[in-house]
């Protein structure tokens, strides 16, 4: 069987930067279907549930505002047609997410220290900016935390609250999504350990726990989540790196298996995927660290059936595939890789 996935990369506007691939779910081999030009550095993607729309940030590397672009999948499945583009209203947009009803998009601007809210129109295009919020503050690492740097956002299962991980100010900032007014209403903040640099998050399928990975101190924080008011209570902190490792590394991505039994993170520098078992109380137990067989694994993705994991090695220009053992969560490299320039985001199309 074949599983379609999209890849965003770092590339110039006149180069192919957004790709469609298929994964052979018998062997782990990956085959390119096509590439799309016209968007600069589509470093993060989100897909509509019906797989007919692809949304991509355009991550500027200077002070220019970035972009958010919408594409429609061609009926024959052989290409992407641009729908429209909006300014992200800030530099270096690095993450975009839907609300559960797919009527709103939230973009965070790492360089601009802001987040923007957009309505999704009936045809899937992106409407004008509905709200734009600026974070303030700093934290303890002068070279990385001199100002706000929101790195990702996530909506809870009800789609009521938007939680934003801000690497620059060491906080998770909580907003309520007011759909009627088209506003992000701030409801509170959760402080993390100074110097953690919160980056990406994932909710447990039960909605009971939130998992946060810190880029700067290479840890995962486990929080109990109270849905009625978006409150977090820290219950555990674990390292993403193996005991005894003292080299330079920065944690990047974090995902739970759809079963909720296993959690995975990527380590850039150690160049590995860390595997954890999730207990009935949400706590984590380390299982193993597996080499990504390349350099600087940024994003990775897991198939909906929890059988395959793909890791994007940004600096060695490759994507590698692994089989996931159902009983243990452990990863086995398939030996297959896809070669492409600076892959940074992988998104599977749901069946």
Residue 228 pLDDT exceeds 80: yes
Mean pLDDT over all residues of the chain?
A: 96
pLDDT on residue 285: 98
Q: Which tens digit of pLDDT belongs to each residue from 179-193?
A: 999 999 999 999 999
Instruction: Specify the pLDDT at position 49.
Output: 80
- Residues 121-173: tens digit of each pLDDT: 999 999 999 999 999 999 999 999 999 999 999 999 999 999 999 999 999 99
- pLDDT level of residue 50 (50, 70, 90 thresholds): confident
Residues 6+ apart with CB under 8 A from 273: 264, 265, 266, 267, 289, 290, 292, 297, 300, 309, 311, 322, 331
**Averaged pLDDT for residues 4-28:** 97
74 has a pLDDT exceeding 90: no
Is residue 105 within 8 A of residue 55, CB to CB? The reply is: yes
pLDDT at 218: 98
């Amino acid at each position: 069987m074949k599983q379609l996935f999209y890849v965003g990369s770092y590339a110039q506007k006149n180069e192919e930067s957004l790709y469609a691939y298929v994964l052979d779910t018998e062997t782990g081999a990956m085959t390119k279907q096509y590439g799309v030009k016209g968007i600069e550095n589509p470093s993060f993607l989100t897909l509509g549930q019906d797989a007919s729309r692809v949304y991509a940030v355009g991550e500027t590397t200077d002070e220019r505002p970035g972009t958010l672009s919408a594409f429609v999948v061609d009926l024959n499945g052989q290409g992407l047609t641009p729908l429209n583009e909006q300014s992200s209203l800030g530099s270096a947009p690095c993450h975009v997410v839907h609300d559960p009803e797919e009527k709103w998009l939230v973009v965070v601007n790492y360089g601009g220290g802001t987040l923007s809210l957009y309505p999704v129109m009936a045809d899937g295009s992106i409407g004008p900016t509905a709200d734009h919020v600026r974070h303030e503050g700093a934290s303890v690492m002068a070279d990385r935390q001199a100002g706000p740097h929101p790195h990702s956002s996530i909506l809870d299962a009800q789609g009521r609250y938007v939680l934003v991980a801000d690497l620059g100010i060491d906080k998770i900032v909580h907003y309520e999504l007011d759909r009627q007014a088209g506003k992000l209403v701030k409801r509170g903040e959760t402080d993390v350990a100074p110097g953690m640099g919160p980056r990406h998050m994932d909710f447990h399928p039960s909605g009971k726990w939130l998992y946060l990975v810190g880029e700067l101190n290479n840890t995962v924080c486990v929080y109990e989540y109270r849905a009625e008011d978006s409150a977090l209570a820290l219950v555990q902190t674990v390292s993403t790196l193996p005991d005894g490792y003292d080299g330079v590394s920065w944690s990047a991505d974090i995902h739970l298996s759809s079963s909720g039994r296993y959690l995975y993170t990527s380590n850039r520098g150690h160049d590995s995927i860390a595997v954890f078992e999730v207990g009935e109380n949400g706590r984590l137990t380390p299982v193993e660290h597996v080499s990504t067989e390349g350099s600087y694994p940024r994003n990775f993705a897991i198939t909906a059936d929890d059988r395959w994991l793909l890791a994007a090695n940004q600096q060695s220009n490759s994507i590698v595939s692994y089989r996931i053992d159902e009983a243990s969560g452990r990863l086995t490299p398939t030996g297959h890789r896809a070669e492409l320039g600076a892959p940074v985001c992988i998104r599977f199309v749901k069946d």
